Structure 1
Amino acid sequence: MKPARILIIAGSDSGGGAGIQADIKTVTMLGGHAMTAITAITAQNTLGVQAVHPVPTEMVLAQIDSVVSDIGVDAVKIGMIGSAETAAAVAERLAMLEGVPIVFDPVMVSTSGSALADEATIAAFERLMALATLVTPNIPELEALGGEEIAIRFATHVLAKGGHGAGPMLTDRLIGPRGVMKAWSNARIDTPHTHGTGCTLASAIAAGLGQGMDLVGAVERGRKYVREALSLAPGLGQGHGPMGVPLGFYEHA
């Protein structure tokens, strides 16, 4: 049986904790085949982002066209998009993929607090949200995008992540155009090594959708994967380090 083909459109993280690097690890660990269209190259580590170099829009599109025309695609994950021009162009390209689930993680700020999207790029996110099967914002991102009503406005689903909330218990809520579909609550895992949680979760969900899972099932498995990865964090770096890699998770999921 051939693995699900997951196209990841995102930026590169030189520290290996988030971005394309986290996405590839996640899709691979969950039994999928990861393909990439890199939107930006970043110089970053556990302490922050030191430099960002956007990839020209035409090169991002060339990467998408190259893999879709030859290998095909079963699901798409979008992370750091790079620029407003690239966001608009990617939306136009993805609109041509009929029936392919799209998970959009609207990356605005890194775990360390560095801005990864300007106001124009955030404004351009609307076209991507209108195409997405699922949008996965954290609390600050959801507020910046317009709140829970984006599920109605863009006829999509929203996984409102509670990781930025206060207290010992955290709740993620899956919201559709008709309201909350399901909520998950778990005890907070007490670790500073949370770099790449959003990227990893979105990629895990995309892998599940590409493998034919329904949305609730894909979210549930993705959340379990992230929590296990958090518990296995190796403690690298002086700041917000990367999570661990749950070897064998796919076989026991």
Structure 2
Amino acid sequence: MTSTIHPSVPGALPRVLSIAGTDPSGGAGTAADMKSITAAGGYGMTVVTCLVAQNTTGVRAIHTPPTDFLAAQLKAVGDDVVVDGVKTGMLGTAAIIETVEQWLDVHQPPVLVVDPVMVATSGDRLLEPDAEAAMSRFCRRATVITPNIPELAVLVDDDPAPDQDAAVAQARAWAADTGVAVIVKTGHLDSRLATNLWVGPEGPLAEVPCIRVDTTSTHGTGCSLSSALATRLAAGDDPATALVWTTEWLHEAILHGSELVVGHGHGPVDHSHRMRRLAAAGQPVAWLTADDVPATLVTPDQLDPTTDAPAAATPTAPEVPASAVPAAGPWTAALWRAGSDLARRIADCDLVTALVDGTLSPGIFSFYLGQDACYLAEYPRALAAVAASSTDPAEAADWAAGATASQVVEAELHRNWLGADSRPPAPSPVTRAYVDFLMARALGDDHPVGAAAVLPCYWLYAQVGASLPQVPDDHRYAGWLATYRDDAFITATATALGHVEKAMEVAAPAQRSAAARAFLISCRHELEFFEQALRMDGLR
């Protein structure tokens, strides 16, 4: 499929029908399909082919209702709703497949994604021979099919592919014979990457790599991928864009699945993690409350670690991570302790993880670079303002040197990474809010406040750099990751810490309080800056 498909009603959510079996434990089948369709931006509907008594430890029993009831379900949906996309899962018998075919002949939805449930990843055959033959025939009417490696082998009458190249060759042969595209899923192959590829008669049209997650929370991944992919295609995405979105969303769902703590076997993925993450980012909740920082700071031990996590989620205080660039005294040590949760969240955030493992998509990386350029175009002004407010000539010279260095980094960023002729992008709301906050503190508040506000850009980036593992020279982002560990930047960070320590020491208690608030809010701005690119749709 190469055309772009749009919902039949402009502006409406794509209406996507799942035709599959059930899972009362919620991780697979129609339950997973509904969650996936919703997460991918569609309106989900279900027609049940069979009732399955299963949980995370396995299948216990299957009840298959008469096919006339299946036909009645299909007719009820088709008589009332225009269906923009269909995903099929467990069809079970030749009679069920024939019933679904008859309905498709009448309604002909623009998108049909077939998950050909024929063979378990263990190699066990799941269908009787007549049903297996019917499924092979059924796959030929699809827009795209999403077989696992053993199922792909059955379709092409070959042994299961031992590696990605062999799987792509099998998929290409199938696509050339049928005109139907294949999603090659390498998650069950023995490799570091779990890559999804859209393969047509000419070969791979799109290739989306992600790092394999060491987890047992993989129940329902096949169902989830196919139903989310059907939704994105029905919404109008081209194949490559749909596969990128689906793969990256599912990777996040797998990555956080164990946090659900569901079941004693292979647990489900967290279908709604991305939605909750985005919803949390949009909450109009104050980053700091009046209780987080005392109105007057007399001693450093008045500052406690701050966190916006629910109290029930943190029954004990987490250990404060060691600072890669040591604090310069008791006041900067107190600032580090207060912002430690934010420092940890930045170091562990998904964008940094994807940068390190090399799977961050080029589009997201380009967005991040562009916003970094916007930030660095403004940050020197804040440093210059802090320099101007200092009464110590040597300190003022250090802050001014930082401003010059930032301008040099910005120029080098454009030249080496964005291209010398590239036009700087418009700052995002997150970037704009951060630089405006820094300028307001540097120009409108006392010197200790401005100095504390600009410190996180030094300290937190140095912390990220210290936490990064070494990557090979041919790593996609090796050059960029090296900038986090620059020796000159570490020295500048230590110098800035010394100046903030001195400013906090001589400040009045109310000034210290304002400075601590500025530091913590800047830390939160840093977290938002790192995470903003992962809130974008359609970047690849």
Residue 193 (structure 1) aligned with residue 217 (structure 2): yes
Partner of 1:16: 26
1:73-109 CA-partner distances (Å, limit 9, x unpaired): 0000000012111112212321333451100001134
Residue 202 (structure 1) aligned with residue 226 (structure 2): yes
Alpha-carbon offset, residue 230 of structure 1: 0.4
CA distance in 1: counterparts of 2:240 and 2:74, whole angstroms: 27
One-letter code aligned to 2:86: V
Show the 5 A alignment for 1:39-54: 39-54=49-64
Unaligned runs of 5+ in 2: 1-10, 157-169, 280-534
Residue 237 (structure 1) aligned with residue 263 (structure 2): yes
The structure whose RCO (Cα within 8 Å, separation 6+) is larger is 1
Q: 1:250 to 1:216 in 2, by over 3 A?
A: farther
One-letter code aligned to 1:82: G
CA distance in 2: counterparts of 1:154 and 1:85, whole angstroms: 23
Partner of 2:273: 246
One of 125, 131, 155 as aligned partner of 1:121: 131
CA distance in 2: counterparts of 1:88 and 1:150, whole angstroms: 22
Show the 5 A alignment for 1:1-253: 1-98=11-108, 100-109=110-119, 116-146=126-156, 147-148=170-171, 149-233=173-257, 234-244=260-270, 245-248=272-275, 252=535, 253=537
1:184-216 CA-partner distances (Å, limit 9, x unpaired): 222101101100100000010111111111122
CA distance in 2: counterparts of 1:111 and 1:179, whole angstroms: 24
One-letter code aligned to 1:201: L
One-letter code aligned to 2:196: D
Alpha-carbon offset, residue 220 of structure 1: 1.2
CA distance in 1: counterparts of 2:193 and 2:199, whole angstroms: 19
Contact 1:134 1:157 in 2 (8 A): yes
Deviates more, 1:243-252 or 1:136-145: 243-252
The TM-score normalised by the length of structure 1 is 0.93
SS of equivalent residue, structure 1 residue 187: coil
Deviates more, 1:112-121 or 1:172-181: 112-121
CA distance in 1: counterparts of 2:130 and 2:222, whole angstroms: 22
Alpha-carbon offset, residue 110 of structure 1: 5.3
The TM-score normalised by the length of structure 2 is 0.45
Q: CA RMSD in A?
A: 2.0
One-letter code aligned to 1:208: R
User: Which one has the largest radius of gyration?
Assistant: 2
Alpha-carbon offset, residue 171 of structure 1: 2.3
One-letter code aligned to 2:41: G
CA distance in 1: counterparts of 2:278 and 2:29, whole angstroms: 21
Alpha-carbon offset, residue 111 of structure 1: 6.6
Partner of 2:352: none
Q: Greater strand percent: which structure?
A: 1
SS of equivalent residue, structure 2 residue 33: helix
One-letter code aligned to 1:30: A
Contact 2:121 2:150 in 1 (8 A): no
Deviates more, 1:141-150 or 1:73-82: 141-150
SS of equivalent residue, structure 2 residue 140: helix
Q: Percent identity between the aligned chains? A: 39
